[in-house]
Amino acid sequence: MAWHYRRGGMGRGFYGFLVLLGAAAIALVGTLHFVAYVVPTEASMGIVQKIFYFHVPSAYGMYLGATACFIGSAGYLARGTRGWDALARAGADVAVAMGLMVLISGPLWAAKAWGVYWTWDPRLTTSMLSVLVYVAYVLLRAFTGDGDAERKFAAALGVLGAANLPIIHYSVQKWGGNHPKVITSGGGGLQHPDMKLGLALGFLSFTLLAIVLVWLRTRINMTRSRLGELREEALELGIDED
């Protein structure tokens, strides 16, 4: 994730980020167009079913953010460096953003499928719990100090929060519930090839989006951390911040 400047121009990392950003933008716009105008309308649920092509990929994006938070948190507990901490914070931010997309799009779909916006289905409940864990992580880092103890406590939360991810994934198989099994064995609803392609494009676009957001947030967090270190050094040298 190196993003640096070279003499006479910007580093390759910056251009790599621009390429990734452009690919994510093209993929998102392409997915929106394909789902809106090419993917056929499902017979029983109608146009509401097209929420599916963004609801499931956003859940996958939440998994990616949570995984980045887990890796960064474990790395910080093992190494104690600011880079791992920056990655953990970025992953938590992305997990919250993607998780909110899941919790907003899901009830809109459920209102048509079940007649209610929310029910305490095992997958819904565990998904909401996971989002709340990462919301707690973000709030912890935002409103507590930035000392080593605070960072280690947050890192422990980031590691423990990942334990809920496989529970979300297997909750339907283990405990049943109303949540449909559309893309797993025994599921249904994606009979037309364009439906499967629309879902694949959704996964591609949200994967690229999650990577872009993690990359960007990591760089922002590292810059903030460096500015904090420079401020502390200035105070130790008796230099006025103004």
Tell whether the model's pLDDT for residue 169 goes beyond 90. no
Percentage of the chain exceeding pLDDT 90: 53
For residues 157-179, give the mean pLDDT.
Answer: 76
Query: What was the pLDDT predicted at 206?
Result: 96
| Contact (Cβ atoms closer than 8 angstroms) between residue 124 and residue 106 | yes
Tell whether the model's pLDDT for residue 187 goes beyond 80. no
Query: What was the pLDDT predicted at 7?
Result: 45
CA distance 210 to 233: 34
CA distance 137 to 96: 10
For residues 16-29, give the mean pLDDT.
Answer: 93
Tell whether the model's pLDDT for residue 148 goes beyond 90. no
For residues 117-127, give the mean pLDDT.
Answer: 85
For residues 193-219, give the mean pLDDT.
Answer: 94
Q: How confident is the model at residue 175 (pLDDT cuts 50, 70, 90)?
A: low
More confident residue, 218 or 177: 218
Q: What is the pTM of this model?
A: 0.85
Q: How confident is the model at residue 8 (pLDDT cuts 50, 70, 90)?
A: very low
For residues 205-218, give the mean pLDDT.
Answer: 96
| Contact (Cβ atoms closer than 8 angstroms) between residue 105 and residue 85 | no
Query: What was the pLDDT predicted at 11?
Result: 61
The answer to which of 127-131, 172-176, 226-230 has the lowest mean pLDDT is: 172-176
For residues 85-91, give the mean pLDDT.
Answer: 95
Tell whether the model's pLDDT for residue 225 goes beyond 50. yes
Q: How confident is the model at residue 89 (pLDDT cuts 50, 70, 90)?
A: very high
More confident residue, 45 or 169: 45
Handedness of CA 182, 108, 43, 195 (dihedral sign): negative
Tell whether the model's pLDDT for residue 216 goes beyond 90. yes
The identity of residue 102, as a single letter, is V
What is the average pLDDT score of the chain?
85
More confident residue, 175 or 84: 84
Q: How confident is the model at residue 3 (pLDDT cuts 50, 70, 90)?
A: very low
Nearest one of 78, 221, 228, 70 to 141, comparing CA atoms: 221
- Supply the DSSP symbol for 10: E
User: How many degrees, rounded to 5, is the angle at CA 52 between CA 47 and CA 54?
Assistant: 110
